[in-house]
Amino acid sequence: MIGTKISAGMWRVDPMNHLRVIDQFGRTVATAESEADASLLATAPDMYELLEGVEKDDALPHGLWEELQLILRRARGDVGLIFSCIGHPRLRQIWTQDWLRFIGRLWNGSSGT
């Protein structure tokens, strides 16, 4: 999944099912556990595109650039680099047990859908 291209195009919350995210053709791209999660997922391609653009800004402070790299790696599915934030106090902490439970649910296919 490393280097995977994030799906482009307009995503939105399905007006008939507020837990489902659809693309511009009405195809389901994600199903969420809450309406808030669905809204966040629907904005993911736009946020990703914005972050990729900011990543190239030379005026970005180095600490913020490192945090941005972590976020983009997570978005690209580079799980191996997730735990690199431990030595960076400005980065969000990722609790190992919560992360492993999340990965376990993905691995076992029980995503709640």
Inside any domain, residue 5: no
Inside any domain, residue 4: no
Share of the chain above pLDDT 90, in %: 25
Inside any domain, residue 89: yes
Q: How many CA atoms lie within 13 A of 11 on its CB side?
A: 23
Helices 62-76 and 35-55: angle between axes, nearest 10 degrees:
130
Inside any domain, residue 6: no
Inside any domain, residue 7: no
Which range has the worst mean pLDDT, 18-27, 44-53, 65-74? 65-74
For residue 37, the enclosing domain spans: 12-108
Average pLDDT score, the chain? 75
Domains: count for the chain: 1
DSSP 11: -
Phi-psi region of 11 (alpha: psi -120 to 50; beta: other; left: phi over 0): beta
Structure-token match 């790299």, residue found = 69
Inside any domain, residue 83: yes
